[in-house]
Structure 1
């Protein structure tokens, strides 16, 4: 928030009483946005009049004017990194920090499982089983998930390809797509135009497009035949990762179980290979 950054610069020019109010505002802007001037004064140990004078000293027309500015600032979208850090700050004062973070992940996974449309999930599984070839993409923060999915799905079946923007030619990749192709795109806030454009072009080539994202109305949905949306209370892509990997694992598990013949064929291929020189045990 620009206003709070400005307040930090003015902090030393304030009186001792006003510094108490300023510290409260800097530490707890959400509380300042909803409490009355009297409640804030009581919380920091000053009078309501001092709180109002504090507002005037910052060139506001009164308490309601300052509070309006704080509320508007809080409504401005934060970056994913800001939200990730803010969420963890709420847990740092509690015991067992690591287990609390993991419990948050469990809650998000359960929420995703409860809210995911089972029909859409099964449709995605069916399309993946029927596809002659599968292209997977995910850029920036989604790349690790796309890489994991392409590797794991590739263990289960043939003709699974990861689009790597640093080495793969986009036009040649698109040229390989047709009506028997599934193009699976992982796209989270902030949504990259390149991923959305690839989905559009893949659709034009006749491919089935599966979008995995954080909202049913995300930009990728305009070009997707199937959307699998991960429910997130915040727009932090980092916090969405545990739910995303759990969903991808469920996809791979369903594809392997429901396409047993192809899985058995793939397993036999692995068993015939002599890979003793590759592994320690």
Structure 2
């Protein structure tokens, strides 16, 4: 199992000090590979014993094994696109290529279901239901998902805005946020600094931040009130797409049930507006 997945698996069982060690390891793998447990503990502000106990919590034999795993797994990571292509080349010679690709998506959705806590999901739906304004943030490879979520969420509930830093004054938008605002920030490897910075500023405005990412230790976790990890076998946004959209669909479904009366009114208003000129009927 990859170290990041191992940390995710045992993260909730770690002490507060051990979680600091976990975060530092993900952010600074080279330092771990080149430093002693005592040096790392001093840098983080914890004891050497805490660093070693962290290793035991992951069922590693000790700090030496942690260094070995880091050298093998973290220091030589390839780009997410390269990893994505390699995983598909493994299936190239197999029959029924497309079914095997889709089967991997099905497995990833199943793994995502295991990682997400029911109480966190219900709290997210409650926060979205009570929010006066909902902001959706996702840049570059996460933009398509953010755009879809913004559009679809807007059909269920009013006052949903897609944050577009390239075309709007983000500072002006942030100044309008308060404790009745909810920001859904979508952030996948490689994590964009701009997404993290906007989430930080929104957090300072007392907005409720819902992070959707690929790891409990992703940078967005620092400013998230709720964090939802989407399983991806290769740290590739492309491989996370099926799981990501499935989870976002669950958010839409949950909110449409929670807001069923207002949703019905919005649907009736939507359908009352003449729109025949916009559509072409298909063949039955």
Range into which the TM-score falls when normalised by the shorter chain? 0.7 to 0.9
Structure with larger Rg: 1
The CA deviation string for residues 183-209 of structure 1, in whole angstroms up to 9 with x for no partner, is 110001111111011111001111100
* Residue number in structure 1 paired with 2:166: 166
- The answer to whether the Cα contact below 8 Å between 2:135 and 2:184 also exists between their aligned partners in 1 is yes
* Residue number in structure 2 paired with 1:110: 110
RMSD: 1.6
The answer to whether 1:79 aligns with 2:79 is: yes
SS of match in other structure, 1:257: helix
Deviation at 1:279, TM superposition (A): 1.1
How do 1:16-55 and structure 2 match up within 5 A? none
- State the distance in 1 between where 2:226 and 2:82 align: 31
- State the distance in 2 between where 1:206 and 1:136 align: 16
Q: TM-score, normalised by structure 2?
A: 0.72
- State the distance in 2 between where 1:175 and 1:74 align: 39
* Residue number in structure 2 paired with 1:40: none
Q: TM-score, normalised by structure 1?
A: 0.73
* Residue number in structure 2 paired with 1:179: 179
Deviation at 1:276, TM superposition (A): 1.4
SS of match in other structure, 1:191: coil
How do 1:132-143 and structure 2 match up within 5 A? 132-143=132-143
The answer to whether 1:238 aligns with 2:215 is: no
* Residue number in structure 1 paired with 2:129: 129
* Residue number in structure 1 paired with 2:147: 147
Runs of 4 or more above 6 Å deviation: none
Aligned residues: 212
SS of match in other structure, 1:95: coil
* Residue number in structure 2 paired with 1:276: 276
When residues 72 and 158 of structure 1 are mapped into structure 2, their CA distance, relative to the original with a 3 A threshold, is closer
Segments of structure 1 that go 5 or more residues without pairing to the other structure are 1-67
- State the distance in 1 between where 2:150 and 2:74 align: 39
